[in-house]
Amino acid sequence: MASKFLIKETKTGMKFDLLATNGQIIATSEVYASKKSVKNGIASVKTNAPVAEVEDQTDENYSKQKNPKFEVYADKAGEFRFRLKAKNGQVIAASEGYKKKASCMNGIESVKKNAPEADVE
């Protein structure tokens, strides 16, 4: 199976999940008002993910990166997450929580690798 963006309807609009080749969800979008905006969001992830730097906000002395960037942070439950920000600073994709920071970093690499070539369904 190839990686793919799966567009889904929600109660309030539409969103996408980016699935890795193993079928695991590696990133999710916010809810968009229309299918056109979801497709624009996907195009933005495809463009920005491969060139985005990583800003590790769990490191005390982290250096601020310019957008587009992946921000790594710890949530309230102490799990590691990332969000991908576009050039304009808007969050275009986010991860689930990871118990280990290394797994979160692997998730980022997976998005960078899979997003550009992923099919859209």
70-79 pLDDT, tens digit each = 999 999 999 9
Measured from the Cβ of residue 57, the count of other Cβ atoms closer than 10 Å reads: 13
Tokens 């079928």 correspond to 23
Question: Structure pTM?
Answer: 0.94
The maximal CA–CA distance of the chain, rounded, in angstroms, is 41
Full residue range of the structural domain in which residue 47 is found: 4-120
pLDDT tier for residue 62 given thresholds of 50, 70 and 90 = very high
CATH number for the domain harbouring residue 60: 2.30.29.80
pLDDT tier for residue 2 given thresholds of 50, 70 and 90 = confident
pLDDT tier for residue 66 given thresholds of 50, 70 and 90 = very high
Tokens 């070539």 correspond to 117
Number of domains comprising the chain: 1
- Percentage of the chain lying above the pLDDT 90 cut: 97
State the average pLDDT for the chain.
96
Report the pLDDT averaged over residues 51-65.
96
Measured from the Cβ of residue 73, the count of other Cβ atoms closer than 10 Å reads: 15
Query: ω before 68 within 30° of 0 (cis)?
Result: yes
